[in-house]
Amino acid sequence: MRKIIEELEPSPIRTIANSAIDNKDVIPLWFGETDIITPKFISDSLKSALDKGHTFYTSNHGVHELVETITEYTSKLHKNTITSKRIMVTVGGMNALMISAEAIINPGDKIICITPVWPNFMRCIEIMGGNVIEIPLILSESHNKWKLNLEEISKKINGARGLYISSPNNPTGWMMEKKEHKIILELCRKNKIWIIADEVYERVVYDRKVAPSFLDIADKNDLLIVINSFSKSWAMTGWRLGWITIPDGMLHIFEKLNEFNIASPAAPIQHAGITAITEGEDFISDMIKKLSQAREIAIKNLTSFSKVELPASSAAFYVFFKVKGVTNSESFCINTLRKSGVGLAPGTAFGKGGNNWIRICYAKSPSLLQEAFNRIKPVLS
């Protein structure tokens, strides 16, 4: 076995969740998904694709109509012309991340990761033999808002191979604004380094239709890879469907990696993806209304607990908060699970420095969420 793989850190969220995953009395707020079942019009479209005989291998690029649909959707959403040769369909955002790592990371390469962040791309970097350079977000003076540490990024960018940034961010709910995208893009252009922009939460926003994206401002030849997914926008986490937007002229490279990793996502699922995009806007609006209500419940409860310090979160469906007196977030989560039957995610899962931080995914029904907060109130007050 390769030493790198043996030593790969397992996800602390999984480790805690596995201990109680089948316990129906536990309220699970640990994973990043809503409790909304994929809407029927999408499931019906999968059934109809099967009935129509869409059961064969597809091209590595993706089912033609899906690629065209994503191309049009992305171009409109970001008011930028993205050609279909820059899109490739993947098995969710995770596969898009791994393929990106395989495409650009040589052993020993340094990749800057803006943390806290969902850890999987950091593990992809390590699998490829690269080195993760964490640059944490900083809390602004009022200690209430996350922001990029641009000074540190400028210092460390020279000599790096790439920069991984996830906005809207899991776990903090922080969202990069347009001017920050411009600064980062310019910096990376100047230093000729890759940007891997993880934008799977781009539609999980509360004050606009879509989050600012590198695709709003980038050119077709920028060293930019944008990760996207059907998981969060259309409640399709279990379907495993996503896509990647890549620079012009590189499709053949990514198609090769697609072939040797997965030989394309399942054909009928790709067909259902067409329906999700073309008929799914009302569903997204409804989901955002529900999430917005859940977000209010989460913020109202957490700000009333005396031990909790909660920075502002503007997007995605997470709250990331500090608990006074907690020095080991993993044992805190294990104890809370035992005492209160609520599944939380420890801050250590999202990079160094997460020891007194906890993440909650609030994308649950109001009654279940309130019940969870009632249960954990004694340990947070």
Ligand X SMILES: Cc1ncc(COP(=O)(O)O)c(C=O)c1O
At its nearest, how many Å lie between ligand X and the CB of residue 166? 4
x/- track of binding to ligand X for residues 47-66 (CB under 6 A): --------------------
The residue within the footprint of ligand X, chosen from 170, 258, 264, 313 (CB under 6 A), is 170
User: Distance between CA 69 and CA 67 in Å, rounded?
Assistant: 5
The verdict on 94 binding ligand X (CB under 6 A) reads yes
Q: From residue 66, give the alpha-carbon distance in Å to each of 47, 62, 110, 123, 229.
A: 17, 7, 35, 30, 13
The candidate with the shortest Cα–Cα distance to 120, out of 15, 10, 265, 19, is: 10
Instruction: Compare residues 231 and 313 and give the one whose CB is closer to ligand X.
Output: 231
Dihedral Cα 374, 375, 379, 381, nearest 10 deg: 10
Stretch touching ligand X by CB under 6 A, among 90-98, 144-152, 218-226, 266-274: 90-98
For ligand X, the binding residue among 45, 71, 172, 231 (CB under 6 A) is 231
What is the Cα–Cα distance from 30 to 13, expressed in whole angstroms? 7
Give 3-state DSSP helix, strand, coil % of the chain, rounded to 5.
45, 15, 40
Contact 325, 8 (CB under 8 A): no
Comparison of 127 and 379: residue with beta carbon closer to ligand X: 127
- The SS3 call for residue 226 is strand
Binder of ligand X out of 109, 198, 202, 330 (CB under 6 A): 198
Size of the site for ligand X (CB under 6 A): 13
Rounded Cα gap, residues 309 and 145, in angstroms: 12
Among 229, 264, 301, 313, contact with ligand X (rule: CB under 6 A): 229
Report residue 336 CA to chain centroid gap: 25
C-beta separation of 75 from 215 below 8 A: no
The piece of 88-96, 185-193, 321-329, 342-350 that touches ligand X (CB under 6 A) is 88-96
Q: Which member of 16, 29, 30, 32 binds ligand X (CB under 6 A)?
A: 32
Q: Which is nearer to ligand X, 149 or 237 (CB)?
A: 237
Asked if residue 12 binds ligand X (CB under 6 A), the reply is no
SS3 353: coil
283 binds ligand X (CB under 6 A): no
Tokens of 305: 């607990």
166 binds ligand X (CB under 6 A): yes
Task: Give dist(CA 340, CA 34) in Å, integer.
Answer: 21
Taking the complex as a whole, how short is the minimal distance between the CB of residue 141 and ligand X, in angstroms?
27
> Does 84 contact ligand X by CB under 6 A?
no
Binding segment toward ligand X, per CB under 6 A, in 41-49, 92-100, 213-221, 296-304: 92-100
Token pair for 123: 């593990």
If we measure between CA atoms, which residue out of 78, 54, 76 comes closest to residue 65? 54
93 binding ligand X? (CB under 6 A): yes
What ranges make up the beta strands (E) of 96-157?
110-115, 131-136, 138-139, 146-147
Residue among 237, 355, 365, 370 that touches ligand X (CB under 6 A): 237
- Residue with smaller CB distance to ligand X, 90 or 301: 90
Residue 58 or 231 with smaller CB distance to ligand X: 231
When the beta carbons of 39 and 242 are compared against ligand X, the nearer one is 242
How is residue 294 written in tokens? 């859940």
172 interacts with ligand X by CB under 6 A: no
Specify which residues 322 forms β-bridges with.
Answer: 309, 357
C-beta of 96: minimal distance to ligand X in Å? Answer: 8
CB under 6 A: which stretch of 91-99, 268-276, 285-293, 360-368 binds ligand X?
A: 91-99
The answer to whether 137 and 115 are in contact (CB under 8 A) is yes
Binding-site member from 173, 242, 351, 354 for ligand X (CB under 6 A): 242
Please tell me whether the peptide bond between 171 and the residue prior to it is cis, using omega within 30 degrees of 0: yes
Least separation, in Å, of the C-beta of 378 and ligand X? 29
- Dist CA 220 CA 212 (whole Å): 17
Q: Using CB under 6 A, which of 12, 39, 62, 92 touches ligand X?
A: 92
In the complex, the residues that contact ligand X under the rule CB under 6 A are 32, 92-94, 118, 166, 170, 198, 200, 229, 231, 237, 242
